[in-house]
A and B are shown apart, each in its own frame.
Chain A
Amino acid sequence: RKEVEQDPGPFNVPEGATVAFNCTYSNSASQSFFWYRQDCRKEPKLLMSVYSSGNEDGRFTAQLNRASQYISLLIRDSKLSDSATYLCVAPGGGGKLIFGQGTELSVKP
């Protein structure tokens, strides 16, 4: 089993839709997680950190469910500019990051 698993998608949604991504992790000792956004052929960029209480930033909400060992990312009122790959990330110890496969989102007009 991979340490971090995501549905690769692609998710094709119309503008204005709400879309949710889930991610599961295997290391129950992990305390915090991250969602990164990666545009085509670019580097990953931090979107949100996810702690036990969850996190909300504008149209984006991240939640952590420790009992089921999954993390979610909700995007409301999706924009064309949200089209990207969203990477679920767990800490790997010593500062290294463990990335999921990534979920591709395509927002259509």
Chain B
Amino acid sequence: DTGVSQNPRHKITKRGQNVTFRCDPISEHNRLYWYRQTLGQGPEFLTYFQNEAQLEKSRLLSDRFSAERPKGSFSTLEIQRTEQGDSAMYLCASSLWGTGGQEYGYTFGSGTRLTVV
């Protein structure tokens, strides 16, 4: 396992269409995070999972956004009825969260760049 894998790398979609992105974390990592980054800004937290449980969602995650991690391994992020404002880089990260509350190996994937036209 060489790292966090995200697919697709690029996605161009028309406004109003639905899109789904996939993230495959490092295999032994139990935590998975989604971030969004727009041009000229730092990444912004969207949501995260510990195993299959979604533990927190940002207020940035509108009703059009849904994330899943059904088996505690890969995760998907779906955006319904895309808007031009959804154009951004969507980054996934994973880590190993230990029982003592320490976190190890926080690693980002290469991201999926979404363009809504």
Contact = CB atoms under 8 A, between A and B. Distances in A.
Given A43-B109, A96-B56, A101 B45 contact: no
Contacts, number: 49
Contacts of B109: 43
A94 B48 contact: yes
A66 B97 CA distance: 27
Interface residues of B, number: 23
Contacts of A89: 42
Given A8-B40, A43-B91, A98 B108 contact: no
B108 to A, nearest CB: 4
Given A43-B91, A46-B106, A96-B33, A101 B42 contact: yes
A29 to B, nearest CB: 15
Interface string A51-94: 00000000000000000000000000000000000010100101
B113 to A, nearest CB: 8
9 contacts: A42-B110, A43-B110, A92-B45, A95-B31, A95-B95, A97-B35, A98-B45, A99-B43, A101-B42
